[in-house]
């Protein structure tokens, strides 16, 4: 299933090709996309938290924060694997726990989107719907998580990209 984020761009590029839109219009579209991207960063990262993390670096090469971020990458990937396994086993409590777990560390770094999605997973795993109210049955829950898991992975990749490029810039 294509996620919401992927769809528009895919459609856009398709449209562009199909309609053979004149270049100035495509430029406009591209520009809009760029603006969207920059806005997306704000949605992606909670600057307060992340800045606080950076503040704790003793010096300019961000040793501490970068190592923390790397730890996070490792942890997230482990967790995703575990999540996949748990989903296969239809182990909802495990999924919930994993969701909670990753939620915590994502929040610590300041990755807003990932954290929110993890919270959803946590709640759904607890047979609560996305805002925490009880009422889901197990099959529904599994279905939902199956939908959400790729989403969270995509969000994570996005965040990973951003962070990696950020540190690359910083340590240049």
Partner 1 sequence: MLDPTLPDPSASSTTIPTTTTKTVTKKGNQQGGTGIPDFVKKLFCMLEECIYPHIFSWSAKGDTFVVKDPSEFAKVILPSHFKHSNFSSFVRQLNKYDFHKVRNPDDRRRRVYGDQAWEFQHPNFKYNRKDLLEGIKRKATGKAAAAARAANNNDTSIDGSDTHRHSNLSSSSLSSSNCTKNELKEMTIKLQEQIQKIQESQTKMSSHMQLCDTKYNAIVEAVDRFRNNMAAQETLMRDIMQHLMTPITTTASSTSNDNNSESPPPEMQKLLQTYNEVSRANTDQMNRISKLVEHMQNDSVITMSSITTSATTTTAATTIPSMGPLAPFNFAIHNNTNNTPTTNNNITTTSLNNSHQQQHSYMPPYPVTTTTPQQTSIPPSMPLKVAMSSPSLRRKSNIPGWSIPPRVLLVDDDLIFRRLSTKLLQVAGCTIDVAADGLEAITKLGSGSYDIVLMDIMMPKLDGISATRNIRQYDTWTPIISMTSNTTDRDVQEYILSGMTDVLPKPLDQRTLRKLLERYCAHLKAVRQGYYGNNNVIEGAQITDIIENNEKGKQPMIATPPVIISTSSFLDSMQTDTIQLDQHQQQNQQQQQQQQQQHDQDNSNHRWQVFVNNSHFIPPTSQPTGQIEDDEVTRVWKKAKLSSNDD
Please report, as ranges, the residues that interact with partner 1 according to CB under 8 A. 49, 52-53, 56, 58, 64, 68, 71-72, 75, 97, 100-101, 103-105, 107-110, 119
**Closest distance between partner 1 and the C-beta of residue 69, in Å?**
9
Q: Whose Cβ is closer to partner 1: residue 111's or residue 154's? A: 111
**Closest distance between partner 1 and the C-beta of residue 32, in Å?**
33
The tokens describing 116, both together, are: 């929110």
**Closest distance between partner 1 and the C-beta of residue 2, in Å?**
30
Q: Whose Cβ is closer to partner 1: residue 26's or residue 80's? A: 80
For the chain, give the DSSP string: ---TTHHHHHHHHHHHHHHT--HHHHHHHHHHHHHHHHHHHHHHB-HHHHHHHHHT-SSTT-HHHHHHHHHHHHHHHHHHHHHHHHHHHT-HHHHHHHHHHHHHHHHHHTBHHHHHHHHHHHHHHTTB-TTS-B---HHHHHHHHHHHHHHHHHHHHHHHHHHHHHHHHHT-
**Closest distance between partner 1 and the C-beta of residue 122, in Å?**
9
Q: Whose Cβ is closer to partner 1: residue 3's or residue 170's? A: 170
Dmax (CA) of the chain = 54
Q: Whose Cβ is closer to partner 1: residue 109's or residue 136's? A: 109
**Closest distance between partner 1 and the C-beta of residue 165, in Å?**
20
Q: Whose Cβ is closer to partner 1: residue 15's or residue 56's? A: 56
């Amino acid at each position: 299933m294509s996620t919401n984020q992927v769809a528009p761009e895919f459609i856009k590029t398709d449209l562009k090709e199909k309609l053979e839109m004149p270049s100035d219009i495509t430029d406009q579209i591209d520009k809009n996309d760029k603006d969207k991207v920059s806005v997306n960063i704000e949605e992606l990262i909670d600057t307060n938290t992340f800045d606080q993390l950076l503040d704790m670096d003793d010096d300019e090469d961000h040793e501490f924060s970068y190592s923390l971020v790397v730890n996070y990458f490792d942890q997230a990937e482990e967790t995703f694997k575990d999540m996949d396994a748990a989903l296969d086993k239809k182990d909802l409590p495990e999924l919930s726990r994993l969701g909670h777990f990753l939620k915590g560390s994502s929040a610590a770094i300041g990755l807003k989107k990932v954290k929110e999605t993890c919270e959803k997973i946590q709640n759904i795993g607890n047979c609560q719907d996305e805002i925490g109210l009880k009422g889901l049955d197990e099959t529904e829950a599994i279905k939902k998580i199956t939908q959400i898991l790729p989403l969270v992975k995509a969000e994570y990749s996005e965040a990973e990209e951003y962070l990696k490029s950020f540190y690359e810039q910083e340590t240049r």
